Amino acid sequence: MELELVSVGLACADVVARPVDSLPERGKLTLIPQLEIHLGGLAGVTATVYAALGGRAAFIGALGDDGFGSFVQGTLANRNVDVSHVKRVSDVGTAATVVLVSDDGERSFLHHAGCSQSLFEEDIDFDFVGRARHLHWGGPAVTAGLDGPPMGRVLDRAKKLGLTTSMDTCYDGAGKWLPRIEPSLPHLDIVMSSLEEAREYTGCREPESIADFFRSYGPEIAMIKLGEHGMFVKDSQQSIRVPAHRVEVRDTTGAGDASCSGFLYGYLRGWDTQKSARFANAIGGMTVQAMGGSEGVRSLEDVQAFLDRASVDIEV
């Protein structure tokens, strides 16, 4: 089968606790009903959900030679993601996140970057990447070894090999923001970002102006994830707002990463922007109903069935 998507960046172990609406007093213990471990990380979740839809996906990233690393790599492989170009390191542990999910599904994170910062430009095998159709970067600010000019060069080289490209931003706890991604923007076809992150990266407030900022660098499409308000997508022809599905929310972790996979699945099949946005939004709506970012979508047929019974009206 043709390799379609190479997802580069962060895959990590998410230790998810729910519900957590307050922390115990110092030195005290609180009992919680749910504590689970799931595959997390922007690039890892996107690759996994893309594979669940029936697409051929690979992950390139750095994992530690530890239990978390074996869990992450094993989960990716079991979900039919190609992990032949995963970098395993012995001196730094695998990236991991403690995810505290409130009763209404909102989440807060304690993230250990670990060896995700040990992924560098020279770790990208372009003979392998060149076999794919699309290169996706999931992880500015959490794959610091690629931030700035290095990822700009990686994406430029991918474009010259004939691939299309995309990026999904991450929250920057160090506050550097735009310099992390600016060298990459001219070499992207699609920029994906949550509203909160996008406001920091761009200095703009509204989805339309944010999309215009990103597109001014050259990308054809900007997708702004609006959380409980759905998503906003703009291309050269139109601006599209898709309202969120009204579903019971258990855990919003990874919903945006999963929705990226849905948009890319449609994009690589030549769907128009409206259809791809509707599909991506549905995947987000399915993901928040399950614990973990890659658990809510099991097949293309599941997504189609969800859309059939839970359609929403697109605003153009």
Domain boundaries, the chain: 5-23+32-309
Under a CB-based contact definition with an 8 Å cutoff, are residues 39 and 55 in contact?
Answer: no
What does the buried/exposed string (b/e) look like for 34-57 if buried means 16 or more CB atoms within 10 Å of the residue's CB?
eeebbbbbbbbbbbbbbbbbebbb
- Beta bridge partners, 37, equal 15
Residue 270: which of 169, 133, 129 has the closest Cα? 133
What does the buried/exposed string (b/e) look like for 206-228 if buried means 16 or more CB atoms within 10 Å of the residue's CB?
ebeebbebbbebebbbbbbbbbe
pLDDT of residue 103: 86
**Residue stretches of the chain with pLDDT short of 70:** 1, 313
What digits encode the pLDDT tens for the residues 18-41?
899 999 999 999 999 999 999 999
Amino acid at 22: S
- Dihedral sign for Cα atoms in the order 15, 123, 168, 73: negative
pLDDT of residue 257: 95
pLDDT of residue 109: 86
Report the length, in residues, of the chain.
Answer: 316
- How far apart CA 72 and CA 38 sit, in angstroms, is 8
Residue 36: which of 241, 290, 220 has the closest Cα? 290
- Dihedral sign for Cα atoms in the order 89, 178, 135, 254: positive
pLDDT of residue 297: 93
pLDDT of residue 14: 92
pLDDT of residue 1: 56
pLDDT of residue 153: 98
The tokens describing 171, both together, are 């929250």
* Phi-psi domain of 32 (left: phi exceeds 0; alpha: psi -120 through 50; beta: other): beta
Enter the pTM of the model.
Answer: 0.94
Residue 88, C-beta contacts closer than 8 angstroms, at least 6 positions apart: 62, 63, 64, 65, 69, 73
Residue 16, C-beta contacts closer than 8 angstroms, at least 6 positions apart: 34, 35, 36, 37, 38, 99, 101, 251, 253, 291, 292
3.40.50.1100, 3.30.428.10, 3.40.30.10, 3.40.1190.20: which CATH number matches 5-23+32-309?
3.40.1190.20
